Chains A and B, each alone.
Chain A
Amino acid sequence: MNAIEVRDLHRVFRATIGTIRRRTKEVTAVDGISFDVREGELFGLLGPNGAGKTTTVKMLTTLLIPTGGSATIMGYDVVRDADSIRPRIGFIFGGERGLYWRLSAKDNLRYFADLYHVDPDMAKRRLPRLLELVGLNGREDEKVEGYSRGTRQRLHVSRCLLHDPQMLFLDEPTMGLDPVGARELRQVIRNLVAEEKTVFLTTHYMFEADALCERVAVINHGQIVALDTPEGLKRHVEDLSVIEVEVFGIAQQMVDSLRQIPEVDTVSVENRDQKQAVRVHSKLGSAIVPEIMHRLDGNGVRLGRVTVREPTLEDAYVRLVGGEA
């Protein structure tokens, strides 16, 4: 039996807009996704912001009811059997919310242990081990409001492990963490998999999915556009080269102009403080550089360094989501 089975899952949100003439607007967040996750697997759901990752996690953790399709967790249906699923799973939603800031870490954990019906003696025994696992021992009596973002996120991890769940849903757990904090948290996630937990991880960082996941599903506009191992995903861009041009201020119409070059596959822009990195994927390799430079230079864009390199997994992701990353 698979740990998670998702079939043609849909979720549509309806919002009322207008004051006098009220009308309903529908937004499809998840549009017919299907996948399986094996027991003990670390499965990644990767996609840009607004792709439908959090909505998927919320449906799988029984917090949202799907508008179509079905999903089971350890054989239990997410709509009908929510009460059977809840004691067996733990979850973290990215960000700092979800804790009682005026209480200490210890009180927070004690409370969630009670909410998850953990025997008080058992909770007492588990607490020191969990605090050690996430590197919080010695700080358990401090109020959460005094913690850094990374420390709060680590507290979230220990909170969701209190009842020793078989499966964990981690929704962008490293979001907003500094590089050291994010690296530490990734190590904690690896340790969980070593303890034979099934982990469902969502992220919009390709390197994170590459470093942690056995298989990755790429989601965009509510649909799964690829599902493979990280190595398999890299093969999506084997035929491409990446031309990276540093620019200082680029208008959207210039990006669109680059997209119109017939040999260009995708174009993405990454902001780097004062400058941007324009990343162009093309099969032509360095042969297309003059055309790119002509279009940028001809429109008065100030240019920096230009590099041509082999594609990485991140490039595969960018190609799959059409340059929206």
Chain B
Amino acid sequence: MIANLRVVRTTFELDVKQQAVGLFMIFGVLIQPLLIAIMAIYMLVARDPSRGIYIVVGSGMTGLWTSLLFRGTFNINAERFMGTLEGIVASPSSLAAVVIGKTLASVTLSLLSMIFSYGLASLIFRFPLNVAQPVPFLLSLLVMVFAFISFGLLISPLMAVNLSLSGWVNALEYPMYILGGFLFPILLLPGWSNPLSYLLAPYWAARVLHTTSSGVATPADILLSWGMMLILGGVYIAASYRLFEIVLHRARVHATLSLM
């Protein structure tokens, strides 16, 4: 257990290091989010400023989800291309520990880049981004990191089976924006789709971040969202544990751990 936790920590540390030394990272983590934030806030200045924080949190979550999805897909494939996937699988460590470390790195970098870009853009445009309930909001962010990592754990093992599956995983990007209620409330969707949203931890994350930032969250609401994120996260982790076993066995049967 301690050894696997050490793997999570080192993977996180070295993944951040690897991403940080790439020039693309400066664009992806600093410049691009800043440009998007400037555009978003520029548009908000002219419209209803009271809706500002809702849109910033929503667009931030879409960014986080996209990053999680693409990095989750890319992580395993990148290891495969570098020829390191076999080294990881043949080690006594769990592949899940490596995936957790990498997902944590992706989520942390995305979160920091969004806080930086929206913070800076709001300073430039003197557009207040007030979070009405800051303590519950920050705690919700932490629970959300757990929920997102557990969802990432569910996605990543599929990539160990087959390269072509990545196309299907990419198709999950937009449905989550809608079903997760990132940009508008799910009450605007047909009633039959709501139970689907309730099964998604990112929906509960979006819900609690929106309500705490807007100041309409009751303690019961907050606890319900946290509870659902923790329960669903636990379910995802349990499912992914079994999924890792299945896909790694299949990868050894079908010889898909390496490209050559």
Instruction: Select one of B10, B11, B84, B86 contacting A63, CB under 8 A.
Output: B86
Residue of A nearest to B7 (CB): A114
Known A99-B84, A101-B82: A87·B7 in contact at CB below 8 Å? no
Tell whether, in the assembled complex, residue A117 and residue B252 are in contact, meaning their CB atoms are under 8 Å apart.
Answer: no
Tell whether, in the assembled complex, residue A13 and residue B18 are in contact, meaning their CB atoms are under 8 Å apart.
Answer: no
Chain B positions within 8 Å of A151 at CB level? none
Give chain B interface residues in 83-111, CB to chain A under 8 Å: 83-84, 86-93, 98
Q: Is A317 an interface position by the 8 A CB rule?
A: no
Give A65 to B90 CA distance when docked, in angstroms.
13
Residue of A nearest to B86 (CB): A63
Tell whether, in the assembled complex, residue B87 and residue A115 are in contact, meaning their CB atoms are under 8 Å apart.
Answer: yes
Q: Is B6 an interface position by the 8 A CB rule?
A: yes
Q: Is A107 an interface position by the 8 A CB rule?
A: yes
Chain B positions within 8 Å of A102 at CB level? 17-18, 21-22
Tell whether, in the assembled complex, residue A107 and residue B14 are in contact, meaning their CB atoms are under 8 Å apart.
Answer: yes
Q: Is B205 an interface position by the 8 A CB rule?
A: no
Give chain A interface residues in 60-83, CB to chain B under 8 Å: 61-65, 83
Tell whether, in the assembled complex, residue A61 and residue B7 are in contact, meaning their CB atoms are under 8 Å apart.
Answer: no
Residue-wise interface mask of A (102-141) relative to B, using a CB-CB cutoff of 8 A (1 in contact, 0 not): 1100010011101111001000000000000000000000
Q: Is A200 an interface position by the 8 A CB rule?
A: no
Q: Is B255 an interface position by the 8 A CB rule?
A: yes
Chain A positions within 8 Å of B209 at CB level? none
Tell whether, in the assembled complex, residue B255 and residue A100 are in contact, meaning their CB atoms are under 8 Å apart.
Answer: no
Chain B positions within 8 Å of A58 at CB level? 86, 255
Give A101 to B253 CA distance when docked, in angstroms.
29
Chain A positions within 8 Å of B145 at CB level? none
Known A98-B84, A103-B14: A63·B252 in contact at CB below 8 Å? yes
Give A97 to B79 CA distance when docked, in angstroms.
10
Tell whether, in the assembled complex, residue A61 and residue B17 are in contact, meaning their CB atoms are under 8 Å apart.
Answer: no
Chain A positions within 8 Å of B22 at CB level? 102
Give chain B interface residues in 238-260, CB to chain A under 8 Å: 249, 252-253, 255, 257-258
Chain A positions within 8 Å of B196 at CB level? none
Q: Is A32 an interface position by the 8 A CB rule?
A: no
Residue-wise interface mask of B (4-30) relative to A, using a CB-CB cutoff of 8 A (1 in contact, 0 not): 001100110010011001100000000
Can you list 10 A-B pairs, Cβ within 8 angstroms, ordered by A?
Answer: A63-B89, A63-B252, A97-B84, A98-B82, A100-B82, A103-B14, A103-B17, A111-B10, A111-B14, A114-B7
Known: A63-B89, A83-B92, A112-B91. 12 other contacts (CB 8 A): A65-B252, A86-B92, A91-B90, A95-B83, A100-B84, A101-B82, A107-B14, A107-B17, A110-B10, A112-B87, A115-B98, A117-B92
Name the 10 nearest CB pairs between A and B, nearest first. Answer: A97-B83, A115-B91, A117-B3, A98-B83, A114-B10, A87-B92, A65-B252, A115-B93, A102-B18, A65-B253
